[in-house]
Structure 1
Amino acid sequence: MEIRQLQYFLVLCKELHFSEAAFKIGISQPTLSQQIRVLEDELEVPLFDRMGKKIAKTEAGEVLESYALQVVQQLSNAKKAIGDLNNLHTGSLRIAVLPSDLDYRLTEILIDFRKDFPNTKVQVFPTIESLTRVLDNDVDIGIGLKTEVDSRIERIPFYTETYSLFVNETHEFAQKKSVISGELSEIPLVMYPQGKCGRDLIDKWCVKQGVTIDSVMETGSATSLFQLVREDIGSTIQPSQLIENFHSLGIRSIPIESAPTRELEIFYRNDRYLSKAAEAFIKLMIEKF
């Protein structure tokens, strides 16, 4: 049994179609069929049920897939560990992060990281599905809201922050030292659309507080929300620290009593090798936040 055969097998498990799997691998369909047949002959069991052009994994195929994933992952881990041992600081680092507001605070970290790892290619993917991207091995590190316990995931809590009300400096609330939840239902708000992490967090908080907020305009960009506040279209509820990034826009930040709170975590798969670059990035995240 060869590593190459296991890699072919895993692609076929994902595609469940010989032609499409062969195309993704870059080999001919007969070659792929032959390699899978070699595996089946060696194991003395069929790995797939052939149903015309469609196929399905057999019970033996399911078992082999779980072990093959571990073998391929461990091989990848070994290559990365040896690369780190050589201290080449090459390769790539893929990061999934909550979009919009966290983008502003990542820039400084990315600049500092680049100084220490100039040969490492960094890719940042804004997404509300950070955990899923990590579990699917699409990225090396995820940054997002606190997640449920998962035996496959290593979780590092690194930051907790409250939300504040942001209003135009001419707003009637601009001179208030704080607001209560009931006052939020009295003013027009510009917010993220429902389904966004930040919006869902606030909506759940509103239910607990027994209040309903009025969203007059919705956009998925923190920049555009603050521009709308600047033009006095409405006020917005955002993480308190964001005022540092928008202090010149003529906007006031007002604390909310018993405010919504979010807990942020860094997470990665515990069965994957964590490179020196990834470790350094996590350390920078913790230090900067």
Structure 2
Amino acid sequence: MELRHLKYFLAVAEELNFTKASEKLFISQPPLSRQIIELEQELQAKLFIRNNKKVELTEAGKYLQKEAKELFQKLERISLKTKKIAENVSGEFRIAYISSIYSAVISELIQYLKTQFPYVNFKLFEVSTTKQINALEQGKIEMGIIRSPIKSPTIKSYLWFQDGFSLVYNKNNIQIKSEEEILNLKNETFVFFNKDYAPHYHEVLLELCSFYGFTPKIIHEANNINSIVQLVKNGLGISIVPSNIAKNNPDSAIGFIELKKVNLFTDVSVIISKEDNSEITKTAVDFLLNKSSEH
């Protein structure tokens, strides 16, 4: 039995019409009929009931249709997996991350992967959480690093680390020594993430300010954590950022105060496709999870 026999059989089984099936397969009807007869002879089973009015599947034909469909679906998966394995040897591996979690560990990850898979072209993209999820679902990236919960039936997530929050301010403009003095900043202008860009994060920031007893006056909005820190450095306001940013920002003009009393954290997760079992993805995930203690 050859695959073409099954391909022809499935076309007839779907159309239940030899003329339509032959048109679909771009062959004439007599060769198609011969292929079906050959298949029936090889299997020693009648697959179709044929008369002048219609074509019907026999019980044996119905069984073969179901099994042949599953076989072709499996062949397609094998083909895609084979292509994926080949790409991991000499292809492209795309990693997305959100700006608020970038750290030296991500740079270390790329360096490590390059030593393990020297023929792979690794690419880093700064992408919002929502766009990362869409990109992963569509196969446009292989791995993402996001903040906040994820709801997708096709994505697997691993908790990388939990991140707290810190007040960030310009030391020349703001005089503050501890968390107890935060309410004194209620009249200061704030720089926050744009609500449409990061709605969950925006709500968390409002919740934090509410905990300390005030509603922030948001004057400037940005879509990038580095832009927010730069605006603070330029004296355009204060902000609240993930503590991870404070640990990775050595600028002496900027001060950070960790907000410990509120006891509020966000999960930073590594996300991959549930269908991705490649060695390169496993290596990347394992590297980050083993480095989680450094945050």
Q: Same fold (TM over 0.5)?
A: yes
Distance 2:16 2:219 in 1: 62
**Which deviations, in whole Å up to 9, do the C-alpha atoms of 1:81-133 show, x marking residues without a partner?**
5x49xxx73222122322x2333442232223222222111223322222222
- For the pair 1:246 / 2:217, whether they are aligned, the reply is no
Aligned match for 1:203, one of 194, 198, 206: 206
- 1:15-68 deviation digits (Å, cap 9, x = unpaired): xxxxxxxxxxxxxxxxxxxx9x9975552179xxxxxxxxxxxxxxxxxxx988
> How far apart are the structure 2 equivalents of 1:165 and 1:109?
28
User: How is 1:176-255 mapped onto 2 (pairs within 5 angstroms)?
Assistant: 176-179=177-180, 182-183=183-184, 185-197=186-198, 198-206=201-209, 211-255=214-258
- RMSD (Å) for aligned C-alpha atoms: 3.6
Task: Find the aligned partners of 1:210 and 1:69 in 2 and give their Cα distance.
Answer: 59
The one-letter amino acid of 2:96's match is: A
User: Which structure 1 residue ranges, 5 or more long, are not aligned?
Assistant: 4-34, 47-65
Quote how far apart the aligned CAs of 1:252 are. 0.9
Cα distance between partner residues in 1 of 2:225 and 2:209: 20
Aligned ranges 1:51-130 → 2 under 5 Å: 72-81=76-85, 83=86, 89-98=89-98, 100-105=99-104, 106-127=106-127, 128-129=129-130, 130=132
Paired letter, 1:122: F
Which residue identity is paired with 2:121?
A: K
Which AA in structure 1 matches 2:187? E
Report the alpha carbon displacement of residue 185 of structure 1 after superposing the two structures with TM: 3.2
Gaps of 5+ in 2: 18-68
Distance 2:206 2:197 in 1: 10
Moved more, 192-201 or 115-124: 192-201
Residues 101, 244 of structure 2: 8 Å contact kept: no
User: Percent same amino acid among aligned pairs?
Assistant: 17
Note the C-alpha offset of 1:136. 2.2
Please say if 1:43 is aligned against 2:44.
no
- The AA in structure 2 aligned to 1:191 is F
**Cα pair 1:141 1:278 within 8 Å, conserved:** yes
Which secondary structure does the structure 2 equivalent of 1:268 belong to? Answer: strand
In structure 1, what is the Cα distance between the partners aligned to 2:134 and 2:107?
Answer: 24
Larger Rg: 2
Amino acid at match of 1:234: G
Q: CA shift at 1:206, angstroms?
A: 4.7
TM-score (norm 2): 0.65
Task: Measure, in 2, the Cα distance between the counterparts of 1:151 and 1:222.
Answer: 29
TM norm structure 1: 0.66
Paired residues, what number?
Answer: 231
Residue correspondence of structure 1 range 126-165 to structure 2 within 5 A: 126-127=126-127, 128-129=129-130, 130-148=132-150, 150-165=152-167
Distance in 2 (CA, whole Å) between partners of 1:248 and 1:205 is: 24
Partners of 2:9 and 2:264 in 1: CA distance: 58
Q: For 1:245-284, list aligned pairs within 5 A.
A: 245-256=248-259, 257-258=261-262, 260-270=264-274, 272-284=275-287
Q: Report if aligned partners of 1:96, 1:133 keep a CA contact under 8 Å in 2.
A: no
Q: 1:77 to 1:177 in 2, by over 3 A?
A: same
Q: Is contact 2:157–2:271 with CA below 8 Å preserved after alignment? A: yes
Instruction: Provide closer, same or farther for how the CA distance between residues 118 and 210 of structure 1 changes in structure 2, counting only shifts above 3 A.
Output: same
Q: Structure 1 residues 95, 42: closer, same or farther in 2, change over 3 A?
A: farther
